[in-house]
Amino acid sequence: MKSGRGSALLSSPKHEPVEVRGGAVQQPAGGVAVDIRGLRKSYNGVPVLRGVDLHIDAGEIMVIVGGSGEGKSVLLRHIAGLETPDAGSIHLDSMDLRDYLALPPGKKPFRLSMVFQSAALLNSMTVAENVSLRLREYHTRPPREIARIVATCLEQVDMSGTEHKLPGDLSGGMRKRVAIARALAVEPQIILYDEPTADLDPILTEQIGELVKRIQETRGTTQVIVAHNLQLATHIGTHIAVLHDGVIVDYVPAKELSRSPNAHTQEFIRAANLNL
């Protein structure tokens, strides 16, 4: 691990309680499994998802790859509960997603965060206000504790001291990291990332990849990542799922992607290498 900034929460052994700034101890949130069965979705009569089956173990890093327009963002939005499927089911930790969504925030047995493709920060709010948005909505923590959590989460993404900046003052990579800090602030058991490294240079891409791995190691969070970058996918992923023609056509341990016998996967790898 790189020393200095960001190490306060992250250098503890796997899933142990971790000390944060000021001596407080946070219990790691752990992760929950995601089970997707027969998921179908059409828009204006055009099918996008044609029966997606995918199981994601608690605490794993699942990377979903596929060509542009194959439905990766649509699939992620379904897991986040932002879209209603035409058919099929999604279970989080054996709980039907519809039941989970029906519960008020304070009654949900676990939390889910999403990092959107565009970072989606609110431009009129400071970094601190963006990161603490959901925490403030819950009305369960005093302002001082919220400020401490914000500082800790910003530290984790190497953005300490940016609390009072506005998103417009930040670079694209910094905004993406603030979006990840915002996702971390509610101590989620699942984080969904839509193209977290799109538009980032190779060094920032590597940093985000390392951050995702550290979140897995220190918090045990289940993480689902849509990514085009196959090098990153094989480096950080536990499994890789390939979405094509509305279904998962291949599912492999990340390190074995290049050995997959699937013709579409091989074509995808070949095309990705051409783009290097």
Ligand X SMILES: Nc1ncnc2c1ncn2[C@@H]1O[C@H](COP(=O)(O)OP(=O)(O)OP(=O)(O)O)[C@@H](O)[C@H]1O
**Residues near ligand X, by CB under 6 A:** 43, 48, 66, 68-74
- Shortest spacing between CB 230 and ligand X, in angstroms: 13
* Residue 68 interacts with, from Mg ion, ligand X, none (CB under 5-8 Å by kind): ligand X
* Residue 74 interacts with, from ligand X, Mg ion, none (CB under 5-8 Å by kind): ligand X
Nearer to ligand X, 43 or 138 (CB): 43
- Shortest spacing between CB 148 and Mg ion, in angstroms: 34
Nearer to ligand X, 60 or 70 (CB): 70
What gap in Å lies between CA 134 and CA 157, rounded to an integer? 18
What gap in Å lies between CA 105 and CA 107, rounded to an integer? 5
- What are the residues binding Mg ion (CB under 5 A)? 73
Q: Which residues contact 110 (CB under 8 A, 6 or more apart)?
A: 29, 32, 92, 93, 188, 189, 190
Q: How far apart are the first and last CA of the chain?
A: 27
* Residue 70 interacts with, from ligand X, Mg ion, none (CB under 5-8 Å by kind): ligand X
What gap in Å lies between CA 24 and CA 33, rounded to an integer? 28
What gap in Å lies between CA 271 and CA 265, rounded to an integer? 10
- Shortest spacing between CB 149 and Mg ion, in angstroms: 30
Nearer to ligand X, 70 or 155 (CB): 70
- Shortest spacing between CB 64 and ligand X, in angstroms: 9
**Amino acid identity for residue 55 in this structure:** H
- Shortest spacing between CB 272 and ligand X, in angstroms: 13
Residue showing the smallest CB distance to Mg ion in the complex: 73
Nearer to ligand X, 65 or 257 (CB): 65
- What is the longest distance spanned by two Cα atoms in the chain? 56
What gap in Å lies between CA 136 and CA 141, rounded to an integer? 8
